[in-house]
Structure formats: structure tokens, C-alpha cells
Structure 1
């Protein structure tokens, strides 16, 4: 019987799964254009290749789990930035652009290129739609007459900024241009 490195089997399994998710995230952050296999992820996590299959049935399953794991952290960063800002709309936009510049969005792109049908999954749709809720609530609190539509328009600017950053345009230039457009 293999030894476990936690007080309970459940804690050990959770720690092993977390190690695999973190290893996959790290590998994708280092090279988002290259999608690692389970063997590479397991090696990075310090686990045997066969151990990875106890937690994830395929590379696609692992990448889906990485993306699902990222959404709450991404949303948490946005909510935190908005809560401490005098301009929560700009905080929303700026934080999203910073996360893109940090490479977080490229990880989502890796899954999209490997498995485009995954993004038709209702879980991902709900997670992605959840990212805009803090913006809608902020706009509603500011008295915007149609906060959902305004949020969609603001997100269109964020998406274009994302494309520009990921295509190689400098973060500072994109950020300044977006700020200028929103200030008008």
C-alpha cells in the first residue's frame, strides 16, 4: 500500500489533484502554444505518469479542470480590484487586461485550440458569464439604465484589448488606448 502524505486519504487525493492542476498551469504559463500531456504534467508534479490517470482521464479532461480552476481566481482578482477602486469599471477592465498580459488567458486559449467543443459546454459558458456579474452590479449601482448592455459593450473593448495584447501589441499601449476610449 502506498504511503499517503496527508492526514486522510481524501486530503492526500486533494493534494495530488492540486499538484497536477498547478503543474499543468505552470507548464501552460511557460509555453501556452504547447499543450502538455499527462505524463509531462505528472513529472512536473513529482508523480508517476500512471498516477495522473487516477485524477484525469485525458489531457483534455485535465485542461478543462485547469480552466475551471482558473475562473474563480480570475473573478476574485476582478472583485478585489473593483472593491478597492474609486472607478470600479476601469478596475474591471484594467484587471482583465493585466490578467491577459500575465498569460492567464493564453491557458484558456490552449484548451480552446485543443478542444473547441469544450467551450460549448454549459459549465464554461456559466463560468465565463459569471466574470461579468461584478461589472453589471457595479453599473447597476451607478444607476446605468441598461447595465447588461453596457457591460457587453465594455466587454467588447476588453476582448479587443485581449486580442491586441495576445497578438503582440504592448500591454502599456493597449491599456492606455483602452483607457482613452473609455474616458470619452
Structure 2
């Protein structure tokens, strides 16, 4: 098969996949995770159900792919923040607001336990640890980064943007605080 033909097929498949994931995002936003159906996603994406099933075996695999894309987008957002400012404070604030804007729901728990999400979390911890610098000498950077990620995840349960900012400030104070004696 000529290379041009392969590129065209790959481009088409990528476009269909993105359209399906965009449609999934719309349905999740409107109806929640339990409201997603293959028929609704296919209709919104402008593809037949048979085509949709060529890409995703069932609703669970569709939701997992959508969630994986969300996680990748969030990691990209953090990378761009770092590239723009080179300030860990800004990265941690962006992460806290991501958590605030995407609070977990009960059915979402299974999505957060996927192997890909666990790898993404480890990537996030490594990303933050690599950018912490020498803030403390009593706690290893990866441990500090894990503390930050866990603390800022609480932003998903706070009531306001002001509360998110306070949580970030408290986390940064702890991050830079004096070593316990």
C-alpha cells in the first residue's frame, strides 16, 4: 500500500476517534458517566454504531479512552504552565484548579484505578519532584511531590476558587516550611 494511502487512513482514524471522544465528553457533561450510551455517542459523533464498535468494544472502553485523554490533556496543561512561568507555585495552582473543576463522582472511581491513570499519576509526581528544586533537605523530592499531589487533590471537595487558592497557599507553606525538630 502506498505511504500516502496509509497516512490518509491513519488521519481518518484519528479524526474519527477524536470526534467520538469529543461526543463522549458532551454526553458525560450533560448526563454524567452513567448516562453514556454507544448509540448516543455514535449519533453525536456522526458515525454509525458499527463504526463506533470498531473503535471501542463497549461503554467502559469508551469511557476509559475518554478519561485517558482527559488525563493527558491535564498533564499537558501543567507542562505548558511550567514552560511559561518556571514556577512550581503556578504548576501546583493549575493542578489544584484541575482537581476543583473535575471532582470525582462515584462511578468515576473505576476510571481512576486504571493502570494508565496510575502511570499518569506517577508521571505527575515525577514531574513535580523534578521541578521542586532544593526546597527541603529533610524529605526526598518525590515524597514531597506525592504529598503535594495528595493534598491538592482535596481541591475537588472545596466550595470555591478562593478556597482552592487557600489550599494551594497552605500546601506551599508546608512545602517550604521548617524541618520538624
Aligned to 2:160: 170
Aligned residues: 166
The alpha carbon displacement at 1:28 in A equals 1.8
Match of 2:130 among 132, 137, 144: 137
- State how far apart, in whole Å, the 1-side matches of 2:127 and 2:42 are: 36
Task: Give the unaligned 5+ runs of structure 2.
Answer: 1-5, 174-181
TM-score normalised by structure 2 residue count: 0.78
Aligned to 1:48: 48
Aligned to 1:126: 119
Contact 2:33 2:107 in 1 (8 A): no
Q: CA RMSD, aligned part only?
A: 2.5
1:59 and 2:35 are equivalent in the alignment? no
TM-score normalised by structure 1 residue count: 0.77
Task: Give the unaligned 5+ runs of structure 1.
Answer: 1-5
1:181 and 2:170 are equivalent in the alignment? yes
Bigger share in helix: 2
Aligned to 1:3: none
Instruction: Map 1:21-170; keep pairs closer than 5 Å.
Output: 21-32=21-32, 34-85=34-85, 87-88=87-88, 90-102=89-101, 105-106=102-103, 109=104, 113=107, 116=110, 119-139=112-132, 141-142=133-134, 144-145=136-137, 146-164=140-158, 169-170=159-160
Q: Runs of 4 or more off by more than 4 Å in structure 1? A: none
- State how far apart, in whole Å, the 1-side matches of 2:172 and 2:120 are: 29
